[in-house]
A and B are shown apart, each in its own frame.
Chain A
Amino acid sequence: MSALTAGSALAVVLPLILLFGFLLHQGASAVNVDFFIRLPKPVGEAGGGMANAIVGSLILIALAGALGLPLGILGGVYLTESRDRRLPWLIRFVADVLNGIPSIVIGIFAYTVVVLPMRRFSALAGGVALAVIMLPIVLRTTEEMMRLVPASLREAALALGLPEWKVILRVVLPTARAGIITGVMVAIARVAGETAPLLFTAFGNRFWHQRLDQPIAALPLQIFAYAIAPYDDWHRQAWAGALVLIALVFLVSLAARIATRGRYSAVR
């Protein structure tokens, strides 16, 4: 039985190794300086890159962070500090359920609240969709990490006469900082690869975007568009894009892990 379970563990991680091998094999040759600094070329012309999509993805992530992080962290603070019984339970539950809602449904939500009233696809709509995806992740990690702060620390601060809000902002949150940053990075790694909610919010753009109320390119969208197109040259670009995207996601995940090394094992 032991061997069987070891075999299934191997089967779970095997696709990762296969996938990574193919990405390196197919994508590495197409990743060059042009890829990072040039706009996509029209069909038939060789070369070009995804500079606009890379910048677009960064802008979308920044927008999502600006909208989602303050709400998520404050919400997490509420969950730890509240003395109420029922409301925090409900919010925790809603957060976990929201976390499980398909991202495409969140895309529809952003479409109904941002795209329909504005009557156009926009970077803003994409940012809202990604923020909704980030929110529950950040909220729950903030809560977990704040709970790990020893009560004696709070008590010491309170005994010095600080008001509660200052204790939280100046003592509890800074102590839990590394853990919260991890949660933020996990959330960023998650939304960086999201495609479905951007299809009809950010929409994609083959050029540099001008304003936040205009459609904007994103790396995952570009990969999708190139993957289903019938041109070999675009396929190569798609592989290169996937390699860059996955490298970004893995680096962020790895950084998140290193940030909490030690702390994490102490929790378990």
Chain B
Amino acid sequence: MTTAAASRSLSSTVVSARARRGWGDRLFRGLARGAALSLILLVTAMIIGMAGAAMPSFRAFGWRFLYTSTWDPVAETFGALPFVYGTLVSSLLALVIAVPLGLGAAIFLAELAPVWIRPPITFLVELVAAVPSVVFGLWGIFVLAPWLRNWVQPALGASLGFLPLFQGPPYGVGMLAAGIILAIMIVPFITAVSREVLLAVPNTQREAALGLGATRWETTRIAVLRYGKSGLIGAVLLGLGRALGETMAVTMVIGNRPEVAISLFAPGYTMASVIANEFTEATSDLYLGALIEIGLLLFAVTVIVNALARLLVWSVGGAVKQVRE
């Protein structure tokens, strides 16, 4: 690694001596630089374009937009609270289900599983991540929601019905369905990134713990998980970022009712779903502005969550060079 880096910088210095002459080199370098800079331009244009289009809504409602819950396109009164609430609750529910499963699967794949079984299972996990959102949504409508309505929700209502979380009629579609489908969709990301983080933990850590007489599980817990903690938090945040912005599958199973309800059985609505459902119907500038303002909010939140996640994952050794989408 170091010799490669050294020889690369050596070849670079050789090149820089020549580059002063070659117009081909200058042209090529300019093109490559331009392509890379276009990425920054793109994100800047994204922010400016969306902020501009959201202006009418921001002028009309100000910060009230974030904490009022009237969404009335006819009267042109818009408050985004039910959507913010729906996004947060469905994502948190997804994390509650997905984090233990994802971390468990990652520990299995990186530490405990027999070596021959690791590649096929890792491959299957990657395939789950590759399933298009709309296909999960289709499955959610026709398989998950009826199953929840007929089996899970009556059972939950009978046993835990004294909690406000599990009250109300079992529709099938609703917050619970959204949380479960989101969990299924983000768990492969959490698994894959956590696995990479665990693999980046140096072997000396494990050897030291084993040398002190720790069992396999104790080694994993003390020497590996603790070492990779910030990276694992990053993995969870990456999953959260996915959940916050996930659109199609959620739109298809959450029930799309703009209300704040405590019960997980009740239908809800998320920021991404309202954009998906109403964008093409938005006729006035104010209506469109309100939807784009929700998009801008979603953009800001996911950028913060993702930035934080990347920094945390990068912090666990340079060994985790890349985290796939």
Residues of chain A at the chain B interface (Cβ within 8 Å): 1-2, 4-9, 11-13, 15-16, 18-19, 22-23, 26, 70-75, 77-79, 81-83, 87-88, 90-91, 93-106, 108-109, 111-113, 116, 132, 135-137, 139-141, 144, 150-152, 154-155, 158, 163-166, 168-169, 186, 189-190, 192-196, 199-200, 203, 220, 223-224, 227-228, 235, 238-239, 242, 245-246, 249-250, 253, 257, 268
Contacts and interface: CB of A to CB of B under 8 A. Distances in A.
Interface string B120-151: 01011111101111111111011100000000
B234 to A, nearest CB: 11
Given A5-B108, A199-B279, A242-B134, A104 B310 contact: no
Given A8-B101, A97-B306, 6 more contacts: A6-B113, A13-B128, A74-B31, A101-B245, A132-B42, A224-B252
A102 B298 contact: yes
A200 B280 contact: yes
A163 B32 contact: no
B322 A223 contact: no
A257 B123 contact: yes
A183 B244 CA distance: 25
A78 to B, nearest CB: 4
Contacts of A6: 108, 112-113
Contacts of A152: 7
A82 B33 CA distance: 9
Interface in B212-253: 216-217, 220, 238, 241-242, 244-248, 252
A74 to B, nearest CB: 4
In terms of DSSP, what is the predominant structure of the interface of chain B? helix
B130 A250 contact: yes
Interface centre among B102, B107, B124, B130 (most CB of A within 10 A): B130
Given A97-B310, A103-B245, A5 B24 contact: no
Contacts of A190: 130, 325
A196 B247 contact: yes
Given A5-B107, A71-B35, A105 B298 contact: yes
Contacts, number: 298
A253 B126 contact: yes
A182 B8 CA distance: 25
B321 interface: yes
Interface string B285-309: 0000000100100110011011101
Contacts of A18: 139, 143
A9 B11 contact: no
Contact of B280 (A135, A199, A223): A199
B55 interface: no
B248 A224 contact: yes
Given A105-B298, A139-B39, A189-B130, A2 B8 contact: no
A42 B32 CA distance: 49
Contacts of B323: 96
Given A94-B43, A193-B133, A196-B247, A227 B141 contact: yes
A18 B181 CA distance: 13
A78 B135 contact: no
